[in-house]
Chains A and B, each alone.
Chain A
Amino acid sequence: MSICKRILPLLLLLAGCTRYLSVQPQGEVIPSSDEEFAALIHDHLRDIEGGGDAYILGNMETVALFEGCADDLDANIRVGDGLVAYAGEAINSRMSDYREAFEIIRDCNIVIEGLDGRTSETARGALGAAYAMKGILYYNLLREFAGPYNPAEALSDPGIPIVDKVDIEAMPARASMKETAQYAGSMLKKALPFTGNDRRWFFTTALVKAYQARLAFWCEDWDTAAAVAEDIIEHSGLELTPADGYKAMLDVAEPRGEVIARSHINNSSELDWYFSYMKGYIASRPVCAALTQLYEPGDIRLSTSFNARRFNTKAPERRVRLSELYLIAAEAEYHRGEPGKALGYLNDLRRARIADAEDLTEATLKPVRSGDRITEDAARKAITPLLQAILDERRKELYMEGDRFFELKRNGRPEWWVISNGLKYTMKKYLYTAPIYKQDCALNPDMQQNPGYED
Protein backbone atom coordinates (compact mmCIF):
# COMPACT_ATOMS: atom_id res chain seq x y z
CA MET A 1 0.00 0.00 0.00
CA SER A 2 3.00 2.28 0.67
CA ILE A 3 4.00 1.90 -2.96
CA CYS A 4 0.50 3.06 -3.93
CA LYS A 5 0.95 6.14 -1.73
CA ARG A 6 4.19 6.98 -3.44
CA ILE A 7 3.04 6.31 -6.98
CA LEU A 8 -0.29 8.11 -6.75
CA PRO A 9 1.14 11.69 -6.44
CA LEU A 10 3.57 10.92 -9.23
CA LEU A 11 0.77 9.77 -11.51
CA LEU A 12 -1.34 12.80 -10.65
CA LEU A 13 1.59 15.01 -11.58
CA LEU A 14 1.93 13.24 -14.91
CA ALA A 15 -1.76 13.31 -15.66
CA GLY A 16 -2.36 16.75 -14.26
CA CYS A 17 -2.60 20.20 -15.72
CA THR A 18 -2.13 20.55 -19.47
CA ARG A 19 -2.32 24.33 -19.52
CA TYR A 20 1.36 24.54 -20.39
CA LEU A 21 0.12 23.90 -23.93
CA SER A 22 -2.12 26.93 -23.85
CA VAL A 23 -0.08 29.55 -25.68
CA GLN A 24 -0.78 33.07 -24.52
CA PRO A 25 -0.39 36.03 -26.90
CA GLN A 26 2.91 37.81 -26.34
CA GLY A 27 2.97 41.53 -27.06
CA GLU A 28 -0.34 41.42 -28.95
CA VAL A 29 -3.84 42.28 -27.85
CA ILE A 30 -7.21 41.02 -28.89
CA PRO A 31 -8.84 44.24 -30.12
CA SER A 32 -11.77 45.62 -28.21
CA SER A 33 -11.65 49.42 -28.41
CA ASP A 34 -12.39 51.38 -31.57
CA GLU A 35 -8.76 52.41 -31.79
CA GLU A 36 -7.51 48.82 -31.51
CA PHE A 37 -9.75 47.70 -34.36
CA ALA A 38 -8.74 50.77 -36.37
CA ALA A 39 -5.07 49.84 -35.87
CA LEU A 40 -5.67 46.70 -37.95
CA ILE A 41 -6.87 48.89 -40.82
CA HIS A 42 -4.08 51.44 -40.39
CA ASP A 43 -1.52 48.67 -40.88
CA HIS A 44 -2.88 48.07 -44.37
CA LEU A 45 -3.33 51.77 -45.15
CA ARG A 46 0.31 52.32 -44.22
CA ASP A 47 1.26 49.55 -46.65
CA ILE A 48 -0.70 51.23 -49.46
CA GLU A 49 0.78 54.64 -48.73
CA GLY A 50 4.32 53.30 -48.35
CA GLY A 51 4.09 51.23 -51.52
CA GLY A 52 4.29 47.88 -49.73
CA ASP A 53 0.75 46.80 -50.54
CA ALA A 54 0.63 44.33 -53.41
CA TYR A 55 -2.91 43.10 -52.87
CA ILE A 56 -5.39 45.98 -52.48
CA LEU A 57 -4.42 48.91 -54.68
CA GLY A 58 -1.21 47.19 -55.79
CA ASN A 59 2.26 48.69 -56.04
CA MET A 60 5.33 48.93 -58.24
CA GLU A 61 6.00 45.23 -57.71
CA THR A 62 2.59 44.30 -59.11
CA VAL A 63 3.11 46.68 -62.03
CA ALA A 64 6.39 44.87 -62.77
CA LEU A 65 4.67 41.49 -62.41
CA PHE A 66 1.72 42.20 -64.70
CA GLU A 67 3.72 44.18 -67.27
CA GLY A 68 6.23 41.32 -67.29
CA CYS A 69 3.36 38.88 -67.95
CA ALA A 70 1.81 41.05 -70.69
CA ASP A 71 3.10 42.27 -74.03
CA ASP A 72 3.56 46.06 -73.92
CA LEU A 73 7.19 45.29 -73.11
CA ASP A 74 8.69 42.86 -75.61
CA ALA A 75 10.59 39.98 -74.02
CA ASN A 76 11.57 38.79 -77.49
CA ILE A 77 13.77 41.86 -77.93
CA ARG A 78 15.28 41.53 -74.48
CA VAL A 79 13.90 39.66 -71.46
CA GLY A 80 15.65 42.12 -69.16
CA ASP A 81 16.53 41.90 -65.49
CA GLY A 82 14.19 41.02 -62.67
CA LEU A 83 11.09 40.56 -64.83
CA VAL A 84 9.36 37.28 -65.61
CA ALA A 85 9.65 36.38 -69.31
CA TYR A 86 5.93 35.51 -69.39
CA ALA A 87 3.08 34.53 -67.03
CA GLY A 88 4.12 30.86 -66.90
CA GLU A 89 7.13 31.84 -64.78
CA ALA A 90 4.93 33.60 -62.21
CA ILE A 91 2.34 30.96 -61.35
CA ASN A 92 3.78 30.14 -57.93
CA SER A 93 4.26 33.75 -56.80
CA ARG A 94 0.75 34.62 -58.04
CA MET A 95 -0.63 31.63 -56.14
CA SER A 96 0.88 33.00 -52.91
CA ASP A 97 -0.93 36.29 -53.47
CA TYR A 98 -4.19 34.38 -53.00
CA ARG A 99 -3.24 33.49 -49.41
CA GLU A 100 -2.01 37.00 -48.64
CA ALA A 101 -5.28 38.52 -49.88
CA PHE A 102 -7.30 36.28 -47.58
CA GLU A 103 -5.18 37.36 -44.60
CA ILE A 104 -6.30 40.94 -45.26
CA ILE A 105 -9.90 39.76 -45.70
CA ARG A 106 -9.61 38.11 -42.26
CA ASP A 107 -8.54 41.44 -40.75
CA CYS A 108 -11.43 43.20 -42.47
CA ASN A 109 -13.86 40.63 -41.05
CA ILE A 110 -12.47 41.14 -37.53
CA VAL A 111 -12.98 44.89 -37.87
CA ILE A 112 -16.45 44.61 -39.40
CA GLU A 113 -17.63 42.18 -36.70
CA GLY A 114 -16.07 44.21 -33.91
CA LEU A 115 -17.17 47.67 -34.98
CA ASP A 116 -20.58 46.96 -36.46
CA GLY A 117 -23.04 49.38 -34.89
CA ARG A 118 -20.46 51.64 -33.26
CA THR A 119 -20.81 55.29 -34.17
CA SER A 120 -17.57 57.05 -33.21
CA GLU A 121 -15.70 58.81 -36.00
CA THR A 122 -12.87 56.27 -35.70
CA ALA A 123 -15.26 53.32 -35.84
CA ARG A 124 -17.07 54.68 -38.90
CA GLY A 125 -13.82 55.45 -40.70
CA ALA A 126 -12.37 52.00 -39.99
CA LEU A 127 -15.62 50.27 -40.96
CA GLY A 128 -15.80 52.13 -44.28
CA ALA A 129 -12.18 51.25 -45.06
CA ALA A 130 -12.74 47.58 -44.08
CA TYR A 131 -15.76 47.26 -46.38
CA ALA A 132 -13.94 49.05 -49.20
CA MET A 133 -10.80 46.93 -48.87
CA LYS A 134 -12.84 43.75 -48.83
CA GLY A 135 -14.80 44.77 -51.92
CA ILE A 136 -11.61 45.69 -53.77
CA LEU A 137 -9.87 42.45 -52.71
CA TYR A 138 -12.76 40.36 -54.02
CA TYR A 139 -12.67 42.32 -57.28
CA ASN A 140 -8.93 41.65 -57.55
CA LEU A 141 -9.34 37.96 -56.68
CA LEU A 142 -12.11 37.62 -59.26
CA ARG A 143 -9.88 39.04 -62.00
CA GLU A 144 -6.81 37.03 -61.05
CA PHE A 145 -8.07 33.66 -59.79
CA ALA A 146 -11.26 33.18 -61.80
CA GLY A 147 -11.52 32.96 -65.56
CA PRO A 148 -12.69 35.78 -67.82
CA TYR A 149 -16.21 36.83 -66.89
CA ASN A 150 -18.91 35.58 -69.22
CA PRO A 151 -22.38 36.76 -68.08
CA ALA A 152 -24.05 33.80 -69.80
CA GLU A 153 -22.04 31.31 -67.72
CA ALA A 154 -21.30 33.31 -64.58
CA LEU A 155 -23.79 31.38 -62.48
CA SER A 156 -21.91 28.12 -63.02
CA ASP A 157 -18.31 29.28 -63.58
CA PRO A 158 -16.23 29.03 -60.38
CA GLY A 159 -15.46 32.28 -58.62
CA ILE A 160 -13.85 32.86 -55.22
CA PRO A 161 -14.78 31.41 -51.78
CA ILE A 162 -16.88 33.89 -49.83
CA VAL A 163 -15.45 34.40 -46.33
CA ASP A 164 -17.94 36.63 -44.59
CA LYS A 165 -17.03 36.10 -40.95
CA VAL A 166 -14.17 35.06 -38.70
CA ASP A 167 -14.26 31.28 -38.38
CA ILE A 168 -10.89 29.54 -38.45
CA GLU A 169 -12.48 26.13 -38.98
CA ALA A 170 -14.61 27.12 -41.96
CA MET A 171 -13.48 25.80 -45.32
CA PRO A 172 -15.84 27.35 -47.87
CA ALA A 173 -15.74 26.08 -51.43
CA ARG A 174 -15.68 28.43 -54.40
CA ALA A 175 -18.77 30.52 -54.99
CA SER A 176 -19.88 31.11 -58.56
CA MET A 177 -18.45 34.05 -60.50
CA LYS A 178 -21.78 35.84 -60.30
CA GLU A 179 -22.03 35.34 -56.53
CA THR A 180 -18.46 36.59 -56.12
CA ALA A 181 -19.16 39.69 -58.20
CA GLN A 182 -22.35 40.38 -56.26
CA TYR A 183 -20.50 39.98 -52.98
CA ALA A 184 -17.72 42.37 -54.04
CA GLY A 185 -20.40 44.83 -55.16
CA SER A 186 -22.26 44.54 -51.86
CA MET A 187 -19.06 45.31 -49.90
CA LEU A 188 -18.39 48.44 -51.98
CA LYS A 189 -22.01 49.51 -51.55
CA LYS A 190 -21.74 49.07 -47.76
CA ALA A 191 -18.57 51.18 -47.75
CA LEU A 192 -20.18 54.18 -49.41
CA PRO A 193 -22.19 55.57 -46.44
CA PHE A 194 -18.96 55.78 -44.43
CA THR A 195 -16.90 57.56 -47.08
CA GLY A 196 -16.51 61.16 -48.15
CA ASN A 197 -13.67 63.30 -49.46
CA ASP A 198 -11.49 62.78 -46.39
CA ARG A 199 -8.30 61.00 -47.49
CA ARG A 200 -7.32 60.02 -43.91
CA TRP A 201 -9.04 56.68 -44.45
CA PHE A 202 -7.79 56.57 -48.02
CA PHE A 203 -11.02 55.20 -49.50
CA THR A 204 -12.93 58.28 -50.64
CA THR A 205 -16.37 58.18 -52.23
CA ALA A 206 -14.87 58.72 -55.70
CA LEU A 207 -12.42 55.83 -55.18
CA VAL A 208 -15.11 53.39 -54.02
CA LYS A 209 -17.34 54.39 -56.94
CA ALA A 210 -14.42 53.97 -59.34
CA TYR A 211 -14.07 50.39 -58.14
CA GLN A 212 -17.82 49.90 -58.59
CA ALA A 213 -17.34 51.01 -62.20
CA ARG A 214 -14.30 48.72 -62.63
CA LEU A 215 -16.23 45.75 -61.19
CA ALA A 216 -19.26 46.33 -63.44
CA PHE A 217 -16.92 46.80 -66.42
CA TRP A 218 -15.11 43.52 -65.72
CA CYS A 219 -18.46 41.73 -65.33
CA GLU A 220 -19.72 43.22 -68.61
CA ASP A 221 -22.61 44.91 -66.83
CA TRP A 222 -22.41 47.73 -69.35
CA ASP A 223 -25.43 49.67 -68.05
CA THR A 224 -24.03 49.91 -64.51
CA ALA A 225 -20.48 50.56 -65.72
CA ALA A 226 -21.65 53.45 -67.90
CA ALA A 227 -23.93 54.89 -65.20
CA VAL A 228 -21.30 54.81 -62.42
CA ALA A 229 -18.48 56.08 -64.64
CA GLU A 230 -20.66 58.94 -65.91
CA ASP A 231 -21.71 59.77 -62.35
CA ILE A 232 -18.05 60.18 -61.36
CA ILE A 233 -17.23 62.18 -64.49
CA GLU A 234 -20.13 64.58 -63.90
CA HIS A 235 -20.26 64.84 -60.10
CA SER A 236 -16.84 64.13 -58.60
CA GLY A 237 -15.55 67.63 -59.29
CA LEU A 238 -12.48 66.12 -60.98
CA GLU A 239 -11.40 67.10 -64.48
CA LEU A 240 -9.05 65.46 -66.95
CA THR A 241 -5.53 66.80 -66.50
CA PRO A 242 -4.50 68.68 -69.67
CA ALA A 243 -1.38 67.68 -71.61
CA ASP A 244 0.82 70.35 -70.03
CA GLY A 245 0.22 68.94 -66.55
CA TYR A 246 0.24 65.28 -67.56
CA LYS A 247 3.83 64.39 -66.65
CA ALA A 248 3.75 66.17 -63.29
CA MET A 249 0.43 64.50 -62.49
CA LEU A 250 2.06 61.08 -62.99
CA ASP A 251 5.33 61.89 -61.23
CA VAL A 252 4.24 63.52 -57.98
CA ALA A 253 3.59 61.28 -55.01
CA GLU A 254 0.36 62.82 -53.79
CA PRO A 255 -2.80 62.44 -55.90
CA ARG A 256 -2.97 65.46 -58.20
CA GLY A 257 -5.32 66.56 -60.97
CA GLU A 258 -7.35 63.63 -62.27
CA VAL A 259 -5.71 61.08 -59.94
CA ILE A 260 -8.30 59.67 -57.54
CA ALA A 261 -5.78 57.43 -55.76
CA ARG A 262 -2.34 55.96 -56.29
CA SER A 263 0.06 53.62 -54.55
CA HIS A 264 3.20 54.80 -52.78
CA ILE A 265 2.13 58.33 -51.82
CA ASN A 266 4.62 58.30 -48.95
CA ASN A 267 7.79 59.56 -50.59
CA SER A 268 9.97 58.62 -47.64
CA SER A 269 8.92 55.00 -47.46
CA GLU A 270 11.31 52.43 -46.01
CA LEU A 271 10.91 50.59 -49.32
CA ASP A 272 12.20 53.41 -51.53
CA TRP A 273 15.56 51.68 -51.97
CA TYR A 274 13.72 48.64 -53.31
CA PHE A 275 11.64 50.65 -55.74
CA SER A 276 14.72 52.29 -57.24
CA TYR A 277 15.87 48.78 -58.20
CA MET A 278 12.39 47.92 -59.43
CA LYS A 279 12.33 50.93 -61.77
CA GLY A 280 15.60 49.68 -63.24
CA TYR A 281 14.16 46.20 -63.78
CA ILE A 282 11.11 47.61 -65.56
CA ALA A 283 13.30 49.83 -67.73
CA SER A 284 15.43 46.88 -68.82
CA ARG A 285 12.91 45.50 -71.33
CA PRO A 286 12.03 47.61 -74.40
CA VAL A 287 8.50 48.59 -75.41
CA CYS A 288 7.07 46.49 -78.25
CA ALA A 289 6.75 47.84 -81.79
CA ALA A 290 2.95 47.45 -81.88
CA LEU A 291 2.49 49.92 -79.01
CA THR A 292 4.89 52.51 -80.40
CA GLN A 293 2.90 52.59 -83.66
CA LEU A 294 -0.30 53.68 -81.89
CA TYR A 295 0.93 57.15 -80.91
CA GLU A 296 0.12 60.18 -83.05
CA PRO A 297 2.42 63.19 -83.34
CA GLY A 298 1.75 65.62 -80.50
CA ASP A 299 0.67 62.92 -78.04
CA ILE A 300 2.12 63.83 -74.64
CA ARG A 301 2.13 60.13 -73.74
CA LEU A 302 4.71 59.39 -76.43
CA SER A 303 7.40 61.53 -74.79
CA THR A 304 6.31 60.57 -71.26
CA SER A 305 6.13 56.79 -71.58
CA PHE A 306 9.52 55.71 -72.98
CA ASN A 307 12.82 57.05 -74.32
CA ALA A 308 14.55 56.82 -77.70
CA ARG A 309 15.73 53.28 -76.91
CA ARG A 310 12.13 52.40 -76.00
CA PHE A 311 12.91 51.86 -72.32
CA ASN A 312 10.23 52.92 -69.85
CA THR A 313 10.28 56.45 -68.41
CA LYS A 314 6.77 56.58 -66.88
CA ALA A 315 6.51 56.29 -63.09
CA PRO A 316 5.38 52.67 -62.64
CA GLU A 317 2.67 52.99 -60.02
CA ARG A 318 -0.87 51.71 -59.63
CA ARG A 319 -3.36 54.54 -60.05
CA VAL A 320 -7.06 55.13 -60.23
CA ARG A 321 -7.57 58.07 -62.60
CA LEU A 322 -10.46 59.90 -64.18
CA SER A 323 -9.15 59.02 -67.65
CA GLU A 324 -9.86 55.35 -66.92
CA LEU A 325 -13.47 56.28 -66.10
CA TYR A 326 -13.71 58.00 -69.51
CA LEU A 327 -12.45 54.82 -71.15
CA ILE A 328 -14.87 52.68 -69.15
CA ALA A 329 -17.75 54.99 -70.12
CA ALA A 330 -16.68 54.92 -73.79
CA GLU A 331 -16.48 51.13 -74.00
CA ALA A 332 -19.65 50.59 -71.96
CA GLU A 333 -21.58 52.99 -74.21
CA TYR A 334 -20.16 51.19 -77.25
CA HIS A 335 -21.53 47.87 -75.98
CA ARG A 336 -24.85 49.54 -75.11
CA GLY A 337 -25.20 50.54 -78.76
CA GLU A 338 -24.46 54.24 -78.21
CA PRO A 339 -21.53 54.93 -80.56
CA GLY A 340 -22.06 58.69 -80.45
CA LYS A 341 -21.63 58.81 -76.67
CA ALA A 342 -18.64 56.43 -76.90
CA LEU A 343 -16.93 58.72 -79.41
CA GLY A 344 -17.71 61.72 -77.22
CA TYR A 345 -15.84 60.28 -74.21
CA LEU A 346 -12.98 59.13 -76.44
CA ASN A 347 -12.59 62.58 -78.00
CA ASP A 348 -12.70 64.26 -74.58
CA LEU A 349 -9.73 62.15 -73.52
CA ARG A 350 -7.81 62.64 -76.78
CA ARG A 351 -8.15 66.44 -76.51
CA ALA A 352 -6.50 66.24 -73.07
CA ARG A 353 -3.58 64.20 -74.39
CA ILE A 354 -2.86 65.11 -78.01
CA ALA A 355 -1.94 68.62 -79.10
CA ASP A 356 -4.31 69.84 -81.85
CA ALA A 357 -6.14 66.51 -81.80
CA GLU A 358 -8.77 66.15 -84.46
CA ASP A 359 -11.99 64.68 -83.12
CA LEU A 360 -12.68 61.18 -84.35
CA THR A 361 -15.95 60.51 -86.16
CA GLU A 362 -17.35 57.22 -87.35
CA ALA A 363 -16.26 58.25 -90.86
CA THR A 364 -12.64 58.97 -89.87
CA LEU A 365 -12.01 55.88 -87.74
CA LYS A 366 -9.19 53.69 -89.02
CA PRO A 367 -10.12 50.27 -90.40
CA VAL A 368 -9.44 47.29 -88.18
CA ARG A 369 -5.76 46.29 -88.42
CA SER A 370 -4.75 42.78 -89.30
CA GLY A 371 -2.21 41.00 -87.14
CA ASP A 372 -3.27 42.58 -83.86
CA ARG A 373 -3.09 40.37 -80.81
CA ILE A 374 -6.66 41.13 -79.72
CA THR A 375 -9.08 39.89 -82.36
CA GLU A 376 -12.29 39.50 -80.37
CA ASP A 377 -13.89 41.77 -77.80
CA ALA A 378 -15.12 41.10 -74.27
CA ALA A 379 -18.53 40.10 -75.64
CA ARG A 380 -16.77 37.57 -77.93
CA LYS A 381 -17.53 39.54 -81.08
CA ALA A 382 -15.16 40.76 -83.79
CA ILE A 383 -13.33 44.03 -83.24
CA THR A 384 -14.85 47.08 -85.00
CA PRO A 385 -13.07 50.33 -85.93
CA LEU A 386 -14.69 52.17 -82.99
CA LEU A 387 -13.80 49.52 -80.44
CA GLN A 388 -10.27 49.34 -81.84
CA ALA A 389 -9.93 53.09 -81.27
CA ILE A 390 -11.17 52.73 -77.67
CA LEU A 391 -8.83 49.81 -76.92
CA ASP A 392 -5.87 51.64 -78.51
CA GLU A 393 -6.54 54.71 -76.39
CA ARG A 394 -6.77 52.56 -73.28
CA ARG A 395 -3.50 50.83 -74.09
CA LYS A 396 -1.66 54.14 -74.43
CA GLU A 397 -3.32 55.77 -71.44
CA LEU A 398 -2.93 52.93 -68.95
CA TYR A 399 0.49 51.77 -70.16
CA MET A 400 2.72 50.78 -67.22
CA GLU A 401 -0.16 50.75 -64.74
CA GLY A 402 -0.66 46.96 -64.82
CA ASP A 403 -3.73 47.09 -67.07
CA ARG A 404 -2.68 45.41 -70.32
CA PHE A 405 -2.56 41.86 -68.90
CA PHE A 406 -6.21 42.08 -67.89
CA GLU A 407 -7.14 43.68 -71.23
CA LEU A 408 -5.74 40.61 -72.96
CA LYS A 409 -7.56 38.33 -70.53
CA ARG A 410 -10.85 40.21 -70.99
CA ASN A 411 -10.63 40.24 -74.77
CA GLY A 412 -10.21 36.65 -75.88
CA ARG A 413 -7.03 35.56 -74.03
CA PRO A 414 -4.82 35.54 -77.15
CA GLU A 415 -1.86 33.14 -77.18
CA TRP A 416 1.65 34.21 -78.12
CA TRP A 417 5.17 33.09 -77.43
CA VAL A 418 8.47 34.40 -76.13
CA ILE A 419 11.93 32.92 -76.59
CA SER A 420 14.03 33.04 -73.46
CA ASN A 421 17.40 31.31 -72.96
CA GLY A 422 16.99 29.54 -76.28
CA LEU A 423 13.63 27.98 -75.46
CA LYS A 424 10.16 28.95 -76.65
CA TYR A 425 7.48 29.50 -74.02
CA THR A 426 3.88 29.88 -75.10
CA MET A 427 1.47 32.13 -73.24
CA LYS A 428 -1.42 29.67 -73.19
CA LYS A 429 -4.99 30.64 -72.38
CA TYR A 430 -5.04 28.96 -68.98
CA LEU A 431 -2.06 31.02 -67.78
CA TYR A 432 -4.19 34.18 -67.71
CA THR A 433 -5.83 32.75 -64.59
CA ALA A 434 -3.58 32.08 -61.59
CA PRO A 435 -3.86 28.85 -59.60
CA ILE A 436 -5.85 28.73 -56.37
CA TYR A 437 -3.51 28.33 -53.38
CA LYS A 438 -2.38 24.72 -53.56
CA GLN A 439 -2.60 23.94 -49.84
CA ASP A 440 -6.23 25.09 -49.81
CA CYS A 441 -6.99 22.51 -52.49
CA ALA A 442 -5.11 19.85 -50.50
CA LEU A 443 -7.01 20.63 -47.30
CA ASN A 444 -10.45 21.08 -48.80
CA PRO A 445 -11.65 18.37 -51.19
CA ASP A 446 -14.47 20.67 -52.32
CA MET A 447 -12.02 23.35 -53.49
CA GLN A 448 -11.91 23.32 -57.27
CA GLN A 449 -8.53 24.17 -58.88
CA ASN A 450 -8.42 26.22 -62.05
CA PRO A 451 -8.03 24.39 -65.38
CA GLY A 452 -4.43 23.69 -66.35
CA TYR A 453 -3.16 23.37 -62.78
CA GLU A 454 -4.77 20.08 -61.73
CA ASP A 455 -2.00 17.74 -60.54
Chain B
Amino acid sequence: MKTKCIFILIIFALLLSGCGYEKLPPKTDSSSQQYVLPKGEIPTEADREALAEIRAEYENYITD
Protein backbone atom coordinates (compact mmCIF):
# COMPACT_ATOMS: atom_id res chain seq x y z
CA MET B 1 0.00 0.00 0.00
CA LYS B 2 2.88 2.32 0.98
CA THR B 3 4.71 1.67 -2.24
CA LYS B 4 1.56 2.20 -4.26
CA CYS B 5 0.84 5.45 -2.45
CA ILE B 6 4.38 6.75 -3.02
CA PHE B 7 4.19 5.78 -6.68
CA ILE B 8 0.87 7.61 -7.17
CA LEU B 9 2.18 10.70 -5.41
CA ILE B 10 5.36 10.75 -7.51
CA ILE B 11 3.33 10.48 -10.73
CA PHE B 12 1.00 13.21 -9.45
CA ALA B 13 3.95 15.47 -8.57
CA LEU B 14 5.64 14.88 -11.88
CA LEU B 15 2.46 15.82 -13.69
CA LEU B 16 2.17 19.04 -11.68
CA SER B 17 5.78 20.16 -11.80
CA GLY B 18 6.80 18.57 -15.04
CA CYS B 19 7.94 20.38 -18.13
CA GLY B 20 5.09 21.93 -20.04
CA TYR B 21 4.97 22.96 -23.66
CA GLU B 22 6.41 26.40 -24.18
CA LYS B 23 6.15 28.23 -27.41
CA LEU B 24 9.70 29.39 -27.84
CA PRO B 25 11.03 31.05 -30.92
CA PRO B 26 13.19 28.85 -33.12
CA LYS B 27 16.74 28.57 -31.89
CA THR B 28 18.97 30.92 -33.81
CA ASP B 29 22.01 31.09 -31.53
CA SER B 30 23.91 28.68 -33.69
CA SER B 31 23.36 30.75 -36.84
CA SER B 32 25.54 33.70 -37.79
CA GLN B 33 23.99 37.07 -37.06
CA GLN B 34 26.24 38.90 -39.51
CA TYR B 35 26.81 38.79 -43.23
CA VAL B 36 30.19 37.97 -44.68
CA LEU B 37 31.48 41.14 -46.32
CA PRO B 38 32.02 41.08 -50.09
CA LYS B 39 35.53 39.97 -51.01
CA GLY B 40 37.96 42.22 -52.83
CA GLU B 41 39.64 41.36 -56.11
CA ILE B 42 43.18 41.87 -57.32
CA PRO B 43 43.13 45.07 -59.42
CA THR B 44 44.01 44.73 -63.08
CA GLU B 45 46.72 46.79 -64.73
CA ALA B 46 44.03 49.05 -66.20
CA ASP B 47 42.60 49.58 -62.69
CA ARG B 48 46.03 50.53 -61.36
CA GLU B 49 46.53 53.01 -64.18
CA ALA B 50 43.12 54.58 -63.53
CA LEU B 51 43.97 54.82 -59.83
CA ALA B 52 47.30 56.49 -60.63
CA GLU B 53 45.47 59.05 -62.79
CA ILE B 54 43.03 59.86 -60.00
CA ARG B 55 45.86 60.38 -57.55
CA ALA B 56 47.91 62.42 -60.02
CA GLU B 57 44.93 64.73 -60.62
CA TYR B 58 44.66 65.28 -56.88
CA GLU B 59 48.36 65.98 -56.46
CA ASN B 60 48.21 68.51 -59.29
CA TYR B 61 45.13 70.15 -57.77
CA ILE B 62 46.68 70.70 -54.36
CA THR B 63 50.05 71.88 -55.69
CA ASP B 64 48.57 74.43 -58.14
Q: A4-B2, A76-B51, A77-B58 are in contact. Are A423 and B41 (CB under 8 A)?
A: yes
Is the C-beta of B37 less than 8 angstroms from some C-beta in chain A? yes
Is the C-beta of B19 less than 8 angstroms from some C-beta in chain A? no
Interface residues of A in 1-37 (CB under 8 A from B): 1, 3-4, 7-8, 11, 14-15
Q: Nearest-CB distance from B18 to chain A (Å)?
A: 9
Task: List B contacts of A423 (CB < 8 A).
Answer: 40-43
Size of the B side of the interface (Cβ < 8 Å), in residues, is 33
Task: List B contacts of A442 (CB < 8 A).
Answer: 26, 28, 31
Interface window among A86-94, A127-135, A209-217:
A86-94
What separation, in Å, do the CA atoms of A7 and B2 have in the docked complex?
A: 12
Q: Is the CB of A4 within 8 A of B9?
A: yes
Q: A14-B13, A77-B58, A439-B28 are in contact. Are A4 and B35 (CB under 8 A)?
A: no
Is the C-beta of A58 less than 8 angstroms from some C-beta in chain B? no
Q: A1-B2, A4-B6, A15-B17 are in contact. Are A77 and B40 (CB under 8 A)?
A: no
Size of the A side of the interface (Cβ < 8 Å), in residues, is 39
B interface footprint on A68-85 (CB within 8 Å = 1, 0 otherwise) = 000000101100000000
Q: Nearest-CB distance from A77 to chain B (Å)?
A: 5
Q: Nearest-CB distance from B61 to chain A (Å)?
A: 7
Task: List A contacts of B26 (CB < 8 A).
Answer: 442-443
Chain A interface residues (CB < 8 Å from chain B):
1, 3-4, 7-8, 11, 14-15, 74, 76-77, 88-89, 91-92, 95, 286, 289, 292, 308-310, 417, 419-426, 428, 431, 435, 438-439, 442-443, 453
Chain B interface residues (CB < 8 Å from chain A):
1-2, 5-6, 9-10, 12-13, 16-17, 25-26, 28, 31-35, 37-38, 40-43, 47-48, 51, 54-55, 57-58, 61-62
Can you identify 24 A-B contacts, CB atoms within 8 angstroms?
A: A1-B1, A1-B5, A3-B6, A4-B5, A4-B9, A11-B12, A11-B13, A74-B58, A76-B55, A77-B58, A89-B37, A91-B37, A292-B61, A308-B62, A419-B47, A423-B41, A423-B43, A424-B41, A424-B43, A425-B38, A426-B38, A438-B35, A443-B25, A453-B35
